[in-house]
Amino acid sequence: MIGLFGGSFDPIHFGHLRPVVELQQALGLDVVRFIPCALPPHRQPTVASAAHRLEMVRLAVVGYAGFVVDDRELQRPEVSYTVDTLKDLRGEYPTSTFCLIMGMDAFVNLPTWYCWQDVLGLANIAVMRRPGAQVALPAWAQQIHCRQRSEFLGASSGQCYVQEVTPVDISATHVRNRLAKQTDVETMLPATVLHYIQQHQLYAKP
């Protein structure tokens, strides 16, 4: 199973990296592809440019076994729809099973995604329980929920699994706000990423 972890990564932080390491180990994923998105369809435009966000992800994954950066969504100038990304990947990896990785906050909004049923037709979804996020699964998710990890790992698509991960209460918004106030963020993201942010004066204004 190939792990696919999309996000705005504005910037990438330990709340992204640590839970995904745990999930990668729990599910035995050889590879996790980090996929920075261009213009998130459901979100405000990003603060840092695509080029900066990509570079920060590149710096962040160094030293993590099996973590790779996939910049295909940034090659598309307009919106990044997950369904298109999955179709693209299917063409490249015709026999692999895909595991979309997301936090619970993102997962509960899946029905608002463009062609979300097609997304489920192309991939399984591993959900990381995130601090403060809704705990109960919505009714639509209960229908595709595997309680057993083995059942999830045996499915080719359309199933979800909730992985308990050690809560890391960090968000990119929090990191940006602290940077704007010139408050310490050293424990929140890799030193290489922080150095890059400082070098390029990203997030200096609120």
Residues that bind ligand ATP (CB under 6 A): 7-10, 15-16, 19, 102-103, 105-106, 128, 130, 168, 170-173
Q: Which is nearer to ligand ATP, 13 or 94 (CB)?
A: 13
Q: Which is nearer to ligand ATP, 28 or 45 (CB)?
A: 45
Q: Which residue is nearest to ligand ATP (CB)?
A: 103
Q: Which residues contact 64 (CB under 8 A, 6 or more apart)?
A: 17, 21
Tell me how far, at minimum, the Cβ of 203 lies from ligand ATP, in Å.
Answer: 11
Amino acid residing at 161? Y
Tell me how far, at minimum, the Cβ of 133 lies from ligand ATP, in Å.
Answer: 8
Tell me how far, at minimum, the Cβ of 95 lies from ligand ATP, in Å.
Answer: 26
Q: Which is nearer to ligand ATP, 86 or 172 (CB)?
A: 172
Tell me how far, at minimum, the Cβ of 171 lies from ligand ATP, in Å.
Answer: 4
Using DSSP's 3-state secondary structure scheme, residue 145 falls into strand
Q: Which is nearer to ligand ATP, 130 or 159 (CB)?
A: 130
Please calculate the CA angle 144-37-145 and round it to the nearest 5 degrees: 10
Q: How far is CA 117 from the centre of its chain?
A: 19
Sheet of 160-163, strands arranged across? 67-69, 31-36, 2-7, 98-103, 124-128, 160-163
Q: Which is nearer to ligand ATP, 94 or 206 (CB)?
A: 206
Q: Which is nearer to ligand ATP, 91 or 200 (CB)?
A: 200
Tell me how far, at minimum, the Cβ of 151 lies from ligand ATP, in Å.
Answer: 23
Tell me how far, at minimum, the Cβ of 94 lies from ligand ATP, in Å.
Answer: 26
CA dist list (Å): 15 to 21, 63, 97, 101, 129: 10, 17, 25, 13, 11
The runs of H, that is alpha helices, within the chain are: 14-27, 50-61, 72-75, 82-92, 104-107, 116-122, 139-142, 149-154, 172-180, 191-200
